[in-house]
Structure 1
Amino acid sequence: MKSPERSVSTAENDLLSPFQSGRLAARYPLVKDHLASLAESELVRAGHLLSRVDPAEVLRHHPATPTVSVAVTGHGTFSSLLPHLTAEIARHGVLLRPFFSNYDSYVFELSDPGSPLYRTGADLTLCLLDPMLVLDDLPVPWTPADVDQALTARIGVIERLVEVFEATSAGTLVLNTLPLPWRFSAQLVDYRSKADLGIGWRRANTRLLQLMTDHPQVVVVDLDPVVADGVPVTDARLSTYAKAHLSPLLLARYAREIGHLARAATGRSKKCLVVDLDGTLWGGVLGDDGVEGIDVGGSYRGEAFQVFQGVVKQLGSQGVLVAAVSKNERDLVHRAFQERAEMVLRDEDLARIVASWSPKHEMLAELAATLNLGLDSFVFVDDSAYECGLVRRELPMVTTIQVGEDPAGHTEAVLRDGWFGLRELTAEDRTRGEKYRQEIERKNFLDNFDSLGDYLRELKVTVRLAGVGEPEISRVSQLTLRTNQFNMTTRRLQRSDVRSLLSEPGTDVLAIHAADRFGDHGLVGAVFLRRTDRDLYIDNFLLSCRVFSRGIEQGCLAAILDHAREATMEAVHGFYRPSARNGLVEDFYTRNGFVRVGEEGPVAIFRNDLLRPLDRPEHLTLHEEFGKEAP
């Protein structure tokens, strides 16, 4: 068995194999997708491989590849930044063309208009600042006043270098704030001195940040929030022995910020945040739980959804277009936004809501046409692995973020890649959402839907249709109580009702279990059957909306019809009782070979004479086990 240090993930091997065979440059357009599936700890290893590929060779194979030239200088040793930069920039489909200056040469390089650094004509020039830039100059012993004096001198030098840069280069100069290592504050024994050190240090960082106000070619990356997130400032051994004064983890996070800048510099920043609703913007399923039943506010999870809605609203206030796509009834969605006072996000905060039963990738395509935006400007957020996988396959240009089940993690998942980062926000940015909403009012059109056949075949949907056992009674009861959309008669059953049906002669209660390549969905539906000598009756058929549009309902119905035919029955009967939320399935039986033969009050009755089999979806693997389980 390989040791953990030497284990290689599938995605890493997708890079390693072509690298070893000399084909990585030719396959560079695929790199972005490979990197997307790597953990952060794996990115640096991928970066080592990519940094050894000649950018000119990549451009020979793919001349249209977007590139960004980056020159790096600084005080300490910073060569270890290269693999981080290479991987982070490649994650956005951009090719890095790097230049690294010599150790501790930043003053010479930036003060001399004829230096090699300036001759590169870099898009981004990184002057990597570290705390030892100041602390190396301190006497021993030292006082906070000594630190303040050293800081003042160093910031003054940097300000003069900025002036030379602006007079010499057309690119962007990237500086960073100086993080204060704990071990220096800890050398002061009284808290008054610690406070004085902190005041002077923060004053110096404020001067650095203010450079962006007066110098439009300067960007200052604030490292304080990164350090506050638990990233160590330094590694004592690397700082002492290698003069690498920022920790590898801090360099990795810094490189991620530079990746965001590179994306913006190449015009690849995102413009539209598209969020799913059920399980993403609020808890629960709107169609099943109703407007009052969804989880937003009033509980720990509900408050977490509120926090996430606030983050979405904050982004929208800064020119990010916010839209929603959801498999739901449109009127019900609008009611949720209007009637739930706990909602932080409102109808008016959204450029458009696309609510229908179409596949999500088709909703996104409709949205892109309506907003007149390219799909590559979209970030799509959903909690469903199925929906995310579908969008990745059908619309690979859309950036897809799958959030987890815990809403407390939604904010970090959306924000950590800074998809909407801009150099500067304008007044027009702040009014963009309203302008788009006005434009949408002038448009009203519908696009044709694409086929999902190929994707569904690859999804490898498997279904087991079998009698309900004792451990499943509670779940079946819950489905009858909470499922509203695909529920043919909306008959609500308690646990005792289900158990009673299981014991009755001539009845079967079948559970529908589903799984696919992403995992097991569990028990997602149920069918209630009743037999007579000649006929079979489907008293109810219900299915969770989590698994709509995958052919499961048609496959199960086909299996029931085949079973009835094999049992030499004459007909199968089905029933539909309309409700406020199950209009989706009103024509379910007629779409699948049944004929409407009458009504009993509000209940419509359908009949299938078993003259021809119902086709089973080709992409579906169905295992049926008719007959009772022991209750």
Structure 2
Amino acid sequence: MDFFAAYRDGLLADDYHRVPALLTGLDPAELARAGRLLANLAVDDTQATVVRVAITGHGTLSPLVPSLTAEVARHGLLLRPTVGDFGGYLTELSDPDSELYRAEAEITLCVLDAGIIFDEVPVPWRPADVRAVLDEKLAFLDKLASIFEANSKGTLVLNTLPLPHRLSAQLVDHQSRAELGALWREANARLLRFGEQHPGVLVVDLDPLLAEGIPVEDPRMAVYAKMHLSTELLARYAREIGHLARNTAGRTKKCLVLDLDGTVWGGILGEDGHDGVEVAETHHGEAFRAFQRVVKQIGAQGVLLAVVSKNDLEPVRRALTENPQMTLSENDFVRIIANWQPKHDNLKQLAADLNLGVDAFTFVDDSTLECGLVREELPGVAVLPVTGDPALHVGTLLADGWFDVRELTVEDRARVDKYREDLSRKDFLDNFDSIEQYLAELGVRVRFAPATEKELPRVSQLSLRTNQFNLTTRRLQLPEVRELADDPAWHVLAIRSSDRFGDNGLVGVIFGRRENDALHLENFILSCRVFSRGIEQACLSALLHHAREHGLTEVFGSYRPTAKNGKVADFYRRYGFTTLPGSDDGVTRFRHDLGELTEAPAHVDLDFGGTLQ
């Protein structure tokens, strides 16, 4: 059944989880149509994760909402938009009491176009006139960004200003056109650097989208409807915002899983041999080499790379280590699974090995059959079929920004090595008869202390990307984390761990709020990489002892259930907290009277540098 048939039959309101699969393969026009239908669909907020988006800007933006509704739905999210008045971005962003701020949106879009400049340029004009308006407008946008950061905990999204040909062509001499082009690009470069001074601001660069051949505007719509960006450009922009919404909701993918034959290289390894597959210097070989280069580039930025292939393991290893034309090597992959088992079963095993959910995977395969089976058996996996020309593999892989994040951290760049260390730990475990013996020899060391300024981006990332051990799943952008860290009533305590195999880095955080003689644990987050090592018990024990020693009389904790954090539902009860009477907000609350306290596990060497003063 296709999307439109499912909508007509009334199947989507109560089964919203089916929408992402039904939207797969729709072209931009069909997606916009689907978005208009979804906007009118009465979906309960419990059916999906809600993303609140406020929209303001300069020109007419009516086509943006249906496209954005569909793009957000493609990732299983439910859009709740707030749309400002036509051309009202100046007043709406300037006024902290405006409807835009009252919406408390996670993402606020301020869509800009060249009209914000040329509406104020005199006629006749020269490049110097444009420069003066650009300088004035950028200074004002800088002020708006500061006002936004002071009054919102969300992200403000600006965009670079495209320069339509009809404007530059009004200058008849090429020297003036070059001057206009230079100062316009300089202004856009300044705009792109806004994020350096304003952590709550993100700027979308429209130039790469326009390079795909998308028109800046429709001349008739620009004149008659004041719509200064084309429907096609707004739809493409909406796709970028969909990726941001997915990241905001904690659904960024963490692992790229690749088939081999026909995907990473040309030919069939079992028939062509490790030195006969196409990876360079042939028509298709160059396309596969280009794909491998992109995969390697992605892997260098903290994305885990893995192989799931129907092949024998030894020939695969020979191909990756002995073929001199191969761009990817065995060391680029955190795990290589090559056997003849169903790929969806291998993906489940890979998830278990990496201690990830399968919904953290993006899977690329050239087989329509394999893609269909994985999509059917594991709907949380992002499946990317690459069934056509290998020169198109790169575009398919990059089209949806599956691994996009706001900012790369030190932990991101070291992630592959850390997961390899985790796999070594699993192998090490096999040498022991009991988990207790294993932990005693593992040598777990924990540093538990207030987060430093340099650690705050990683703290934010943990709140955005951790799903299993995340007790309230409150997603915090960097400005929100920084605000809590600067508040004397709050304690943002970072957890670092290491052991005999290496440094795990910053793996967890506890957010606590001091109120009189009580400490409220507003959230406790721990990376899935370090589960079941006693780290959570050691940190909680240290915090409870410290609270009692400093005169506190009680500690409260909260748990908000989600589809993925059920394994920590009884976390507080396990360590001596009692359950408080239920509430209407879906949150279970707990209390510890600081009487009998749980001790830290003997195998954990804990260094607690926090204070509740």
State TM-score, norm by structure 1: 0.67
C-alpha distance in 2 between matches for 1:106 and 1:40: 27
**2:269 counterpart of 1:283:** no
**Which residue matches 1:88?**
71
**2:352 counterpart of 1:378:** no
C-alpha distance in 2 between matches for 1:192 and 1:437: 56
1:188 maps to a residue whose letter is: L
1:229 maps to a residue whose letter is: E
**Which residue matches 2:178?**
195
**2:341 counterpart of 1:358:** yes
Q: Alpha-carbon deviations, 1:389-445, whole Å to 9, x = none? A: 111111111110001231100000010100001011001100101111121133359
How far has the Cα of 1:52 moved from its partner? 1.4
C-alpha distance in 2 between matches for 1:420 and 1:351: 16
**Which runs of 5 or more structure 2 residues have no equivalent in the other structure?**
429-613
C-alpha distance in 2 between matches for 1:249 and 1:39: 11
- CA shift in 2, pair 1:15/1:139, >3 Å: farther
**2:306 counterpart of 1:323:** yes
C-alpha distance in 2 between matches for 1:105 and 1:255: 20
**Which residue matches 1:527?**
none
Q: In structure 2, which of residues 24, 44, 47 is the aligned counterpart of residue 58 of structure 1?
A: 44
C-alpha distance in 2 between matches for 1:47 and 1:203: 36
What SS does structure 1 have at the residue aligned with 2:414?
A: helix
C-alpha distance in 1 between matches for 2:287 and 2:84: 46
What's the Cα RMSD here? 1.3
CA contact (8 A) 1:322 1:350 kept: yes
Q: In structure 2, which of residues 238, 263, 266 is the aligned counterpart of residue 255 of structure 1?
A: 238
Query: How many residues matched?
Result: 428
**Which residue matches 2:20?**
32
**2:395 counterpart of 1:417:** no
C-alpha distance in 2 between matches for 1:342 and 1:369: 33
C-alpha distance in 1 between matches for 2:259 and 2:18: 28
CA contact (8 A) 2:14 2:47 kept: no
C-alpha distance in 2 between matches for 1:209 and 1:376: 32
C-alpha distance in 2 between matches for 1:249 and 1:136: 23
CA contact (8 A) 1:11 1:37 kept: no
CA contact (8 A) 2:24 2:74 kept: yes
How far has the Cα of 1:326 moved from its partner? 0.7
C-alpha distance in 1 between matches for 2:302 and 2:84: 38
C-alpha distance in 2 between matches for 1:301 and 1:325: 22
**2:4 counterpart of 1:13:** yes
**Which runs of 5 or more structure 1 residues have no equivalent in the other structure?**
1-9, 446-631
What SS does structure 1 have at the residue aligned with 2:387?
A: coil
**Which residue matches 2:607?**
none
2:31 maps to a residue whose letter is: L
CA contact (8 A) 1:144 1:197 kept: yes
1:11 maps to a residue whose letter is: D
**Which residue matches 1:128?**
111
How far has the Cα of 1:64 moved from its partner? 5.1
C-alpha distance in 2 between matches for 1:271 and 1:440: 16
Q: In structure 1, which of residues 36, 48, 56 is the aligned counterpart of residue 36 of structure 2?
A: 48
**2:189 counterpart of 1:206:** yes
**2:250 counterpart of 1:267:** yes
What SS does structure 2 have at the residue aligned with 1:97?
A: strand
Give runs of ≥4 in structure 1 deviating > 2 Å.
12-16, 441-445
C-alpha distance in 1 between matches for 2:2 and 2:227: 30
How far has the Cα of 1:192 moved from its partner? 1.1
Alignment of structure 1 residues 393-412 onto 2, 5 Å? 393-412=376-395
**2:301 counterpart of 1:312:** no
What SS does structure 1 have at the residue aligned with 2:193?
A: helix
State TM-score, norm by structure 2: 0.69
**2:160 counterpart of 1:177:** yes
1:279 maps to a residue whose letter is: G
CA contact (8 A) 1:368 1:374 kept: yes
Q: Alpha-carbon deviations, 1:284-329, whole Å to 9, x = none? A: 0001110121001111211110110000001001010011111111
CA contact (8 A) 2:288 2:391 kept: yes
Q: Alpha-carbon deviations, 1:453-472, whole Å to 9, x = none? A: xxxxxxxxxxxxxxxxxxxx
C-alpha distance in 1 between matches for 2:270 and 2:27: 35
* Identity between Structure 1 and Structure 2 (%): 55
CA contact (8 A) 1:72 1:126 kept: yes
1:87 maps to a residue whose letter is: A
What SS does structure 2 have at the residue aligned with 1:142?
A: coil
1:40 maps to a residue whose letter is: P
What SS does structure 2 have at the residue aligned with 1:443?
A: helix
Alignment of structure 1 residues 210-229 onto 2, 5 Å? 210-229=193-212
Alignment of structure 1 residues 339-350 onto 2, 5 Å? 339-350=322-333
1:96 maps to a residue whose letter is: L
- CA shift in 2, pair 1:326/1:177, >3 Å: same
C-alpha distance in 2 between matches for 1:364 and 1:444: 19
What SS does structure 1 have at the residue aligned with 2:264?
A: coil
1:358 maps to a residue whose letter is: Q
1:340 maps to a residue whose letter is: N
